[in-house]
Structure 1
Amino acid sequence: MRQLRMRRQQRRAEELVREFYESMLVLALDLLLQWNQWHVVRVLKPNKLPDEVPEPLPVSWSTLFFANGLLLTLTQYRPQRFKRWPSVVRKLLLLLELFVMLFVVDYVLLSIWQPFLSICDQALHALGHSKWTWTRFIFHYCPRLSAWLINDAFYFMRFVASLSWFLLAIEGAAAKWRLAIDFMLLGQLPDPIIVPRYRPKRRHAQSRPTQI
């Protein structure tokens, strides 16, 4: 029974390490593509796309954070059925998964994220140029706020939103990564911490003597 349990832990640890290496490979490949502005969507023919894909924006840290965060989120939903297949088949399927995930990241980045950022940029510009009563009152006491909304607010919002998405994606994948790193350093998975449950003592009702 103990040997069977150790085999299961060994198999689970190997799967965690393999997933960790595959995640690092996917992130490195996506970082290479985004840094050089190579998009998988552009490889396909335009008539295969449902809508016209806009031109990509210049590379920035916000773009890298958003793309890698979305890619990490997609890696959490990879099909688990492929783990039972042979090693050669898994490697071929890994290439297919890479292509599909990179295509989804590029399509979301170019077709959803960039138009959304364009709407936010226009809204901030309109707010900076607005002549409403309450905006005049605020701009009177904060004279640099209007220029900040027009020039820098969009880039600040884009960076904070992308970084938040990336950190949330890392937080979701951190549990498995921590186990994989522990196995690579210690040679075994850490033992689960068993927290003893506190059971309140039951008070037995004392039988009162019957009065005659």
Structure 2
Amino acid sequence: MLVNVPPGSESDTDDSVVEPAIDDLLERTANGDQAAFGELYDRLAPRVLGLIRRLVVDQAQSEEVAQEVFLEVWQSATRFDPNKGRAIGWIMTIAHGRAVDRIRASQASRERDVRIGIRDLPQEFDQVAESAEVTIEHRRVMGAMARLSESQREAVGLAYYGGLTQTEIADRLGIPLGTVKTRLRDGMIRLRDELGVTS
């Protein structure tokens, strides 16, 4: 858990006095000075946590993100370039980026949970009505199939109920592939018409 800095400490003082001290602490941290890093942490932890907390809201997650920020500061202090700005700005930029990353990750996780939850909801349906619909549809198809010519019915049956390819049907029936294609095409057109299906 992050430490709290008491009132009247560095966090309440003028930034023009504080920033050079933070710059120095970060420079010493970059050289592996653990005591300087500890002081840097003590001085900036409340400010970093405050920024993160405003964005992330959740206290526990905010504290986790703040710890990640200071770990990154420790590991990458050598990359700070004082010619490009103040140390405090660099650290707060890291904090902001980490907070935004956490928000996005949390949102993505929530959306994924919602999608999975919806997918896993039991689908309510009337089993009797479902069975009746399937039976009625099967009878309609069988009635339409009965109105096909014998050769069309044979080709369509082998394709859709037997799962054979056009070439396999041609081999099975001993007829040219072109004939199979014609029978299937004509049979499907007739079926569509019989079932009242519009293309």
TM-score, structure 2 as length reference: 0.37
TM-score, structure 1 as length reference: 0.35
Q: As a proportion of its length, which structure holds more helix?
A: 2
